[in-house]
Structure 1
Amino acid sequence: MRPLPTLLLLTAAAAFGGFAAIGLNETFNQRADAAPVPASTTLPPNSSTLPATVQGQPLPSLAPMLKRVMPAVVSVATKQVVQVRNPFFNDPFFRRMFPDVPQERINQSLGSGVIVDAAKGYILTNHHVIEDADDVSVTLADGRTFKAEFIGSDADTDVALIRIPAENLTAIPLADSGLLNVGDFVVAIGNPFGLSQTVTSGIVSAVGRSGIRGLGYQNFIQTDASINPGNSGGALVNLQGQLIGINTASLNPQGSMAGNIGLGLAIPTNLARTVVDQLLANDGVVIRGTLGVEAQDVDARMAQALKLDSARGALVSRVYADSAATDAGLKVGDVIVSVNGQRIDNAAAWHNFEGLQAVGTRFKLEVRRDGKPVTLTAALKPQPRALIGNSLDKRLAGASFAELSEQLRQSGVSGVLVSDVTEGSRAANSGLQAGDVVVAGSMGEFTDLASFRATFETPPRQLVLRIQRGRRGGNLLME
């Protein structure tokens, strides 16, 4: 059979489109009150109207719950002054001839937030919403706008707390997110793409979601409720109008601006509550605890040698002196397979669990020792947030070191951050700069601040640091 000419195909398509449009128009233009349906009957198969009741019961609606909850969801606007780098500004002649050319610009962004304490004006939002902002303002559902005060934030869990001096606020009660189950109905409220007070609904797709690169410590609620740019910091609520999570991210291989594809993530309220308590108690920062071990993955060969049933768990490769692990009786060669009943499949899973716990948190460790199950009880001790170079080695005098952000670690970077270097110091004269990442050294292997400090128990004769500076790497001889 010969193919139809292009013109004939276009004519047929246009005719079908017109027919379909007329049919749809007639369908949607039927009036809802044209034929009332008795409460005790079911709808005809092709009816386009909805009954007021079904078997004597009114149709369910989210409207009453949303009427209570939506005043507690706010719009968060930030401004950041950024210096414009232009080589012409270094020329005095250019500056004199063009004095009005701006040498800085203002970056603006919009996000969402949730009022969690009406009396004190506390608002939960994401760290990335207010990060590096010079000015933060909050607009309420009733149109009032207030300048917000920064209380504190934690980049590694993406939780931030701000406060506004406002009265007659509405807060959302916090639910126990630990009671969530896959399949529970949820509603997301926020300001996607700058649109105010937008509501989407869905179900809980997964709980305890982790292993996502670049998102810090993870224990996410996954939902198919639409979460798009601008939803960050908004509310994820249950059908009782209780807060179960803070919307934080949308997974999309095409990028966030491509829209939602049903893979949204929210920070559970139990985690957010713990972070907020620490922010309020510790002057706006989170102090994390540590067990004091180094761990590595278990492969098939190790599993056989350690008499394990399967190649999973976190193998303890080092136990630090005077640590919580030492107090608990943990030994090198032990394999952590679960904590408080939560399965631990690898070193990353253990690291993620540890990072989500507060100082003093007690838990039960289930380990395998020589293939046999052993249960230990441990309590995390504080870990230092920074180290002074001179306390490690005199050749590092003038430098300060800090932990890498968890986002960097999730992206595959390990080591420690050079947080500051004093000008003219011994470390500066050797070429060390603030912002460098120390990834290796002649003193031994390390992955974080604790193991970095442990490598200096026996000072090396020659101290060489391998550093990463931006996209470039190299070795520095510290003299």
Structure 2
Amino acid sequence: MIDIARLTGGMPVRIWPAALWTLAAATAINLGWSAAPVIWRLAGQDGQIIPAFAGPQAAAAARTDLAPLLDFAPFGQDSLPTPEPQVTGETSLGLTLLGVTIGNPASASRAIISGGDTPVASYPVGARVLGNADVAEVNADHVVLRVDGRLETLSFADTRTATARAVGGNLRNLIPQATQAAPTNTSNAPEDVINRYRAAIQADALGVLDRLGVTPTPDGYQIGVNASPGVLQAGMRPGDVITSVNGQRVGDMEADRRYFDQVAASGRARVELQRDGQAIVMSFPLK
């Protein structure tokens, strides 16, 4: 017996009576043709099939030329679908891809984009990023923009070519400032920012998390309702849970403290988090 529920993953299946009858009839006819010689022998015959009487061949019907009717096209002609434009290359609009949300279906995906006068925002598929650019497609490592009818890609920043000013700004916004006033000559170079962050974590890791508005949990680090402006500007929301960084599970304070130098040396922090049951990937260049 075939378990239809198992084949369909438990989804209800509705079979029309006519369809079920047709299937049964076809099966019976097929079995009838296969079993006919056997039944013939059981009836006392020798199994030879008597050829059917062939009547006189019908005269060939005259062929009708349908070309004039087809050329006339009384019901119109089918128009070929317009081919989808091909991706022309990486966009030059000066935008930065900070993160993506891969949804199911794909139309539910979103991209976190910033750049120029455009504030950091999460854009769904079909949303307008600039006056002439819409989000056409969201993938795990890049998005496709429709720019004046052309398709262009927007990929995560290459750490080898990212400018220090843009990187320093992104990273600096994520790092909470100490309660005391910072020196006026503090460098914003990425290496200096990372060094200050490392020192802050080594001195008081829980204090750093508290200023970020992040709480360690068994599943990772949860973004709280009092998250710092820098965390929110990076595209994270209260309730998000950071589950891994650069592919490694996080949530153990001691282990993560030792892992910090590896992340900094890699040149990029690829952050994975859970939001409302969906996996989100964000990428932050560190060099």
Higher relative contact order (CA 8 A, sep 6+): 2
Larger radius of gyration: 2
Q: TM-score scaled by structure 2?
A: 0.29
Higher helix share: 2
Higher strand share: 1
Q: TM-score scaled by structure 1?
A: 0.19
